Chains A and B, each alone.
Chain A
């Protein structure tokens, strides 16, 4: 645009300074957030490689004098009882989370598709009824569910957890996926159906692959939710060999109240699977939020 006069050099310099002010403010803020986020995790790692004695010193050893992997060895050693328990809890968590994830996807995909495509009576009501589930805390459902689970014989089984975990993954899963399906042009399916595909085939062959990022995001969300869940597991399970990691670690800590290196090592190992999973797949998650939930 030739009508805009070139700014005088002095005001240009001033503007650059002001822009730099914002940029520097942003950088300092990011540094602060990085420290706030990372320091607790670094302290967890540093503590986990100390001996029990080294952890309980004042002033603390900022850097461990004699780093040791003893805590990790203890937790991962199938020969000793702590290791046996930890590995069993780990396996239980893995089983429950994987089963929840698979079932969530199987249940959420068709539901989200129907909410996006079909116009059946009660559609909006049902959609919001499903969404409302996220409004309510686990504790409200705890007593009646405990009684219900006892009545159908699921207390102290992983089935009770999988069934309940399904419900809190579902609302967000359906919401995310619906946003995805809303953005896939219906003409693609119509074209497939003109070519002779059934509605189901069109769904499986055309829509499913296009919504893969949404499905991956849904799966991550379900898995992480199930892996980290505590209240139901704490209430429904009492047998030691059934416990999942969050409850198992709590039990471990209530028996060894001063073993902070062990506790930090356990917290670290419990976090590794979900963090790795999330970091590997996070771009799908952010993309799903952008295309599914936030787009308008």
Chain B
């Protein structure tokens, strides 16, 4: 083994910079987070004064009410955003697949929300949802659908769906690009053959196009799910997790625990739990990606 490594020593030089950066910025923080999660830490970053308390941080989290509330929010946020973004993105890709005048321009416009900063997007939508001068509220009032502008992001019941709309706005273009790329790999002959055999548009989609895109779909959905699970900016800037935790998701909650209330130990324990969840998701992620890999090899 060692000899084999030595024989390939020149190969490692190519990957060394990438690995080195990764080690500094990832491996060390992971180690440190795990360590901190077993300690009671003082506020401020005087972490030399920390003392070991075993798994108390973990039990405190799992028995707190906020934890379950935030977990529920995270579930709705992640599943809702991922599913709707994917369906809208896929449908848009299908609708854009056939050539027509202005297709390129339309595609470019549809991608823009994905490119602009989430901070800018958050402020644009915060203004749109504004409880006094927001445009949606004004339209609803003008059309007679509401007596006065509704509170979209200041109300416990509507805040999460409202934020999900913003998130989908930013994210469906990604699914669209991925699925457009995928659609180009569906062989035309197959579709034509199916047509000759009498398959209608829906049957062609369901029996030819869709199975062909299984891999791309899996990768896209996983990437979206991971990104959504990890999102921070939109809830943080638009509501800061409020009102009364209604839009707190895991990441914003961890951030607030750490940098707002300076409870580094508890925040670290949260991070470790998050880490474990992500590792199990990661198992599927790697399997989906290496599924592509194997196909590459045999092709």
Residues of A within 8 A of B (CB): 1, 4, 18-19, 22-23, 26-27, 29-30, 33-34, 36-38, 40-41, 43-44, 47, 55-60, 106-108, 110-111, 113-115, 118-122, 126, 128-148, 150, 163-164, 166-167, 170, 174-175, 182, 224, 227-228, 230-231, 235, 245-246, 249-250, 253, 260, 263-264, 267-268, 270-271, 274-275, 278-279, 282, 285-286, 289-290, 293-296
Contact = CB atoms under 8 A, between A and B. Distances in A.
B110 A296 contact: no
Given A44-B124, A170-B21, 6 more contacts: A40-B124, A41-B113, A130-B22, A143-B36, A163-B25, A164-B25
Contact of A147 (B32, B178, B289): B32
A40 B124 CA distance: 7
B255 A139 contact: yes
By secondary structure, the B interface counts as: helix
Nearest to A235: B259
A147 B108 contact: no
Interface string B71-111: 00000000000000000100110111010000000101111
B112 A41 contact: yes
B216 A294 contact: yes
B177 interface: yes
23 contacts: A22-B201, A26-B95, A30-B95, A30-B96, A37-B110, A40-B124, A40-B169, A111-B17, A121-B1, A121-B4, A128-B290, A143-B264, A143-B267, A143-B268, A144-B32, A166-B25, A231-B232, A268-B120, A293-B178, A294-B181, A294-B216, A295-B296, A296-B295
A1 B184 CA distance: 27
Given A114-B14, A130-B22, A43 B124 contact: yes
Given A121-B1, A246-B117, A267-B124, A275 B112 contact: yes
Interface string B226-268: 1001101100010000000000000100110011000010011
Given A37-B110, A126-B19, A142-B255, A286 B177 contact: yes
Contacts of A114: 11-12, 14-15
B142 A274 contact: no
Given A44-B124, A296-B215, A296-B299, A249 B275 contact: no
A38 B5 CA distance: 54
Nearest to A295: B185
A113 B14 contact: yes
Nearest to B201: A22
Given A142-B255, A246-B119, A270-B117, A40 B177 contact: no
A271 B285 contact: no
A289 B177 CA distance: 8
A121 to B, nearest CB: 5
A133 B271 contact: no
Contacts of A253: 123
B117 A293 contact: no
A293 B275 CA distance: 26
A228 B119 contact: yes
A132 B282 contact: yes
Contacts of B32: 143-144, 147-148
A105 to B, nearest CB: 12
Interface-central residue, A137, A175, A282, A293, by most chain B CB under 10 Å = A137
A18 B271 CA distance: 53
Nearest to B34: A144
Contact of B201 (A18, A38, A41, A55): A18
B203 to A, nearest CB: 12
A1 B196 CA distance: 10
Given A139-B271, A143-B268, A126 B21 contact: no
A128 to B, nearest CB: 5
A60 B133 CA distance: 7
A228 B117 contact: yes
A56 B91 CA distance: 38
B162 interface: no
B92 A33 contact: yes
B45 A147 contact: yes
Nearest to B133: A56
Given A121-B1, A275-B112, A167 B181 contact: no
A40 B1 contact: no
B82 to A, nearest CB: 15
Given A18-B201, A235-B259, A289-B178, A263 B123 contact: yes
A131 B127 contact: no
Contacts of A144: 28-30, 32-33, 36
Given A133-B26, A166-B21, A282-B111, A19 B11 contact: no
Interface string B137-159: 01001100000010000000000
